[in-house]
Amino acid sequence: MSEAKHIREYSLQELKEYFESIGDKKFRAMQAYEWLWKKNARSFNDMSNLSLDLRKKLADEFDMQAISVDATQHSSDGTLKSRFKTYDGHLIEGVLIPTENRNTACVSSQIGCSLTCKFCATGRMERKRNLRFDEIYDQVAILNEQSESVYNKKLTNIVYMGMGEPLLNYKNVLKSIDRITASDSMAMSPKRITVSTAGVAKMIKQLGDDQVRFNLALSLHAPTDKKRNEIMPINETNTIDLLIEALNYFYDKTKNDITLEYILFRGKNDSLQDADDLIKIYRQIPTHLINVIEYNPIGGVDFEKPTEEGTQLFTDHLAKHRVNVRVRRSRGKDIDAACGQLANKDKSTA
């Protein structure tokens, strides 16, 4: 028996051709397509307006390989973290972050990560594989269902800030965004989607060449190459100067928003000299915002968060020099759902 074909790789036209080939009506293709991308079916049995015989035939000829919710944790601040299981048994995590004005889905792009950033729990995990575009899409669809069920509100924003480096899974990330923004799917505005990167200069330029419409965030976290090399090994081949050049190229091509992400580490990157060095970078990039992020401890590493006074001193210094700066308070810390904490820890409730 030949290996089953992955149905979510098929376009609507290809599905029409398939249904014609088995002597069925073209409109069946539209029904199946709507189940896949609007009604978010995760099995052929879900496709209730198709006959049982047709559903069985589809299940025999195709696979769907949708992800499933393995467990969900609820934070005291309203954040929900879900552990998802892939068809081949791997675990990934996604987070629903509700606030007064928006409900944001934070999704993963890889199983594990290869970048070994020193402050990140995911960076300690071996990268098993890239997620397929539909596995990324599934996370968004499930988190949207949770948002509607728990908060009576659809997702308003999506950030690719979960497990993995999105730009090292370039094609699947872009294809997932195409599906999320498609009119025959979730129809999310690309302006409400942000892809975060640790800094892959070549692929940042590729985003510009591909004229993407979503926003970009750079996880900078240190204002000099010397300091960044110590905590983010990727900087050794993607230096700050290369990233500045790439971000300017991206902006020239797309005019999309660029945000700089900067986690404060006590005694390592939080001095006024560090702030001055960060200001120099800010002035070389058409960025609209620096997000200063509080560090979330992961254990076993020599990092501490600054005092509130230290954070205030740092951000006040930036603001005094006309930098648009915002302190991003971490959500879901009590369930290890905050920035840098995603590592499939088993503290879950079904």
Residue 5: count of CB within 10 angstroms of its CB = 11
Q: Alpha-carbon distance 35 to 47, whole Å?
A: 6
339 a catalytic residue: yes
Buried b (16+ CB within 10 A) or exposed e, 197-230: bbbbbebbbbbbeeebebbbbbbbbbbbeebbee
Which is the catalytic residue, given 113, 117, 120, 339?
339
Considering the candidates 14, 20, 93, 148, report the single residue annotated as catalytic. Answer: 93
Q: Which residue has the tokens 């028996």?
A: 1
Cα(209)–Cα(202) distance, integer angstroms: 11
93 is known as an active-site residue? yes
Structure tokens of 2? Answer: 């030949």
Q: Please name the residue ranges forming H helices in the chain.
A: 12-21, 27-37, 52-61, 133-151, 170-181, 201-209, 225-231, 240-254, 272-282, 308-320
* Three-state secondary structure of 298-344: CCCCCCCCCCHHHHHHHHHHHHHCCCCEEEECCCCHHHCCCCCCCCC
In sequence order, what are the beta bridge partners of 65? none
The residues carrying an active-site annotation are 93, 339
